[in-house]
Amino acid sequence: MADYDVTQSYMQDISLGTSIIAVSFKGGVVLGADSRTSSGSYVANRVQDKITPLADTVYLCRSGSASDTQAIASYVQYWIAEHQAEKNGPVDVSTAANLAMQLSYNNKNMLQAGLIIAGWDKQGGGSVYAIPLGGTLLKVPYTIGGSGSAYITGWCDKYWRDDFTEEEARAFVVKALTHAIARDASSGGCVRTVTITQAGVKRDFIPGTKLAATFGELPTPASS
Amino acid sequence: MDLNAFGRGAAQACSNSKMSDAEPHTGTTIVACTYNGGVVLGADGRVSTGNYVSNRASNKIMQLTDNVYLLRSGSAADTQAIGDYVRYFSEQLAGELGEDPSVQTIANLVGTMNYNNKNMLMGALLVAGIDKHSGGQVFGVPIGGTIVPEKWAIDGSGSTYIWGYMDSAWKPDMTREEAEGFVTEALALAMARDASSGGIIRTVTLDKDGATMRYVGGNEVPLFHEELQPPAAAAAAGTASMVVG
Average pLDDT over residues A125-144: 97
pLDDT above 50 for B17: no
pLDDT tens by residue, B42-60? 999 999 888 899 999 999 9
Distance between A200 CA and the closest CA of chain B, angstroms: 30
CATH label of the domain that carries residue A158: 3.60.20.10
**Residue B235 banded pLDDT, cuts 50, 70, 90:** low
| Separation between Cα atoms, residue B31 and residue A181, nearest integer Å | 22
Distance between A137 CA and the closest CA of chain B, angstroms: 17
Average pLDDT over residues B216-232: 84
- pLDDT value of position B21: 52
Q: Measured between CB atoms, does B164 come within 8 Å of chain A? A: yes
- pLDDT value of position B243: 39
**For chain A, percent of residues with pLDDT exceeding 90:** 86
Active site residue A193: no
Q: How many CB pairs under 8 A join A and B?
A: 60
**Residue B101 banded pLDDT, cuts 50, 70, 90:** very high
Residues 6+ apart with CB under 8 A from A137: A97, A98, A101, A129, A130, A131
pLDDT tens by residue, B138-169? 999 999 999 999 999 999 999 999 999 999 99
Stated as kind and residue range, the H or E segment containing A123 is: none
- pLDDT value of position A169: 98
**Residue B174 banded pLDDT, cuts 50, 70, 90:** very high
- pLDDT value of position B22: 54
- pLDDT value of position A84: 98
Average pLDDT over residues A118-133: 96
Is position A224 within any domain?
no
Is position A206 within any domain?
yes
Is position A73 within any domain?
yes
| Separation between Cα atoms, residue A117 and residue A31, nearest integer Å | 9
Q: Is A4 helix (H, G, I), strand (E, B) or coil?
A: helix
pLDDT tens by residue, B102-123? 999 999 999 999 999 999 999 9
ipTM for the predicted complex comes to 0.88
**Residue A198 banded pLDDT, cuts 50, 70, 90:** very high
From the candidates B26, B28, B79, B184, give the one annotated as an active-site residue: B28
pLDDT above 60 for B15: no
Q: Measured between CB atoms, does A6 come within 8 Å of chain B? A: no
The least confident of A125-139, B14-28, B97-111 is: B14-28
Is position A140 within any domain?
yes
**Residue B232 banded pLDDT, cuts 50, 70, 90:** low
- pLDDT value of position B147: 97
Tell me the sheet residues that pair with B53.
B48
pLDDT above 90 for A224: no
pLDDT above 80 for A80: yes
- pLDDT value of position B1: 43
What chain A residue is nearest to B165 in terms of C-alpha separation?
A155
Residues 6+ apart with CB under 8 A from B69: B41, B61, B62, B63, B127, B128, B129, B204, B206, B211
pLDDT tens by residue, A86-121? 999 999 999 999 999 999 999 999 999 999 999 999
Chain A contacts of B225, Cβ < 8 Å?
156-158, 160
- pLDDT value of position A82: 98
pLDDT above 70 for A65: yes
Q: Do A151 and B161 touch (CB under 8 A)?
A: yes
pLDDT above 60 for A136: yes
Q: Is A58 helix (H, G, I), strand (E, B) or coil?
A: strand
Is position A92 within any domain?
yes
pLDDT above 60 for B7: no
Is position A215 within any domain?
no
Is position A103 within any domain?
yes
Q: Measured between CB atoms, does B186 come within 8 Å of chain A? A: yes
Q: Do B170 and A215 touch (CB under 8 A)?
A: yes
pLDDT tens by residue, B67-86? 999 999 988 899 999 999 99
- With 0.80 as the threshold, say if the pTM is over it: yes
Indicate which of B168, B187, B228 best probes the interface with A, i.e. most A CBs within 10 Å of its own CB. Answer: B168
Is position A9 within any domain?
no
Indicate which of A149, A151, A164 best probes the interface with B, i.e. most B CBs within 10 Å of its own CB. Answer: A151
| Separation between Cα atoms, residue B14 and residue A148, nearest integer Å | 31
Q: Measured between CB atoms, does B193 come within 8 Å of chain A? A: yes
Q: Measured between CB atoms, does B138 come within 8 Å of chain A? A: no
**Residue B226 banded pLDDT, cuts 50, 70, 90:** confident
Distance between A110 CA and the closest CA of chain B, angstroms: 22
Answer whether B137's CB lies under 8 Å from B103's CB.
yes
**Residue A197 banded pLDDT, cuts 50, 70, 90:** very high
pLDDT tens by residue, A12-21? 777 768 999 9
- pLDDT value of position B9: 47
Out of A154, A160, A216, the one facing B164 most closely (by C-beta) is: A154
**Residue B227 banded pLDDT, cuts 50, 70, 90:** confident
What chain B residue is nearest to A155 in terms of C-alpha separation?
B165
Q: What is the mean pLDDT of chain B?
A: 87
Count the domains in chain A: 1
What chain B residue is nearest to A182 in terms of C-alpha separation?
B164
pLDDT above 50 for A134: yes
Indicate which of B167, B197, B221, B224 best probes the interface with A, i.e. most A CBs within 10 Å of its own CB. Answer: B167
Q: Measured between CB atoms, does B69 come within 8 Å of chain A? A: no
pLDDT above 50 for B239: no
A86: exposed, middle or buried (C-beta count within 10 Å: 0-12, 13-18, 19+)? Answer: exposed
| Separation between Cα atoms, residue B93 and residue B100, nearest integer Å | 8
Where in the sequence is the domain holding A154, given as residue range(s)? 20-210
Q: Measured between CB atoms, does A158 come within 8 Å of chain B? A: yes
pLDDT above 50 for A222: yes
pLDDT tens by residue, A149-160? 999 999 999 999
